[in-house]
Chains A and B, each alone.
Chain A
Amino acid sequence: GPKVLQIPSHQIIDMGQMVTLNCDPVSNHLYFYWYKQILGQQMEFLVNFYNGKVMEKSKLFKDQFSVERPDGSYFTLKIQPTALEDSAVYFCASSLDWGGEQYFGPGTRLTVL
């Protein structure tokens, strides 16, 4: 079936540094999502994105977070600066339609030291 890729699979950085997580969504999909899963907890919605704009965001989507998809390339989540509580697995997803099936990537494990 359709695949979403995430790069890198694991990232370790020092607190206060900037990090960019990359997502290669399904090629014809138009809606993009980020979810965050802290170890032992449920996956939680961060943000969705369509046509160059954030459509919805949760309270977890702090001011230090930003998303973009320049020129149809990777859909990225940038965290600047990072904090210890940002350590988690971040899942990217994409869908063709609003309310359509979301296809998930394998996740990027972010460790902030």
Chain B
Amino acid sequence: GDSVTQTEGQVALSEEDFLTIHCNYSASGYPTLFWYVQYPGEGPQLLFRASRDKEKGSSRGFEATYDKGTTSFHLRKASVQESDSAVYYCALSETEGADRLTFGKGTQLIIQP
């Protein structure tokens, strides 16, 4: 079945550092890829999505590019702020015939001031 792998369980950075959270996926079809962010006490909320190879999704300074060749959708941000501290989930959804999200385990991002 489909799966999403996030290699980092936790990332600790200082303000203004560069962020990369790795996401690789395995899917039988041509999935849509998502990044969700979850703040304490809240549910996950969509950061952005991408549906086609080489498409870049972006929001609030975060970005990721759909790479079908390496089956990756790595999250990046050039300069993190303390307010970015949250859990980040990579997810996918099959394009045809299904309406369910498959999530990675999540990456806890801790930003120290």
Contact = CB atoms under 8 A, between A and B. Distances in A.
Contacts of B102: 45
A106 B42 contact: yes
Interface residues of A, number: 27
Contact of B104 (A33, A42, A104): A42
Interface residues of B, number: 20
Interface string A19-52: 0000000000001010100001111110010000
A44 B99 CA distance: 13
Contacts of B98: 56
B43 A42 contact: no
Nearest to B41: A106
B44 A104 contact: yes
A102 interface: yes
A104 B99 contact: no
Which 5 A-B pairs give the minimum distances between C-beta atoms? A104-B43, A45-B100, A43-B103, A42-B105, A42-B103
Interface of B: 4, 32, 36, 41-46, 89, 93, 98-106
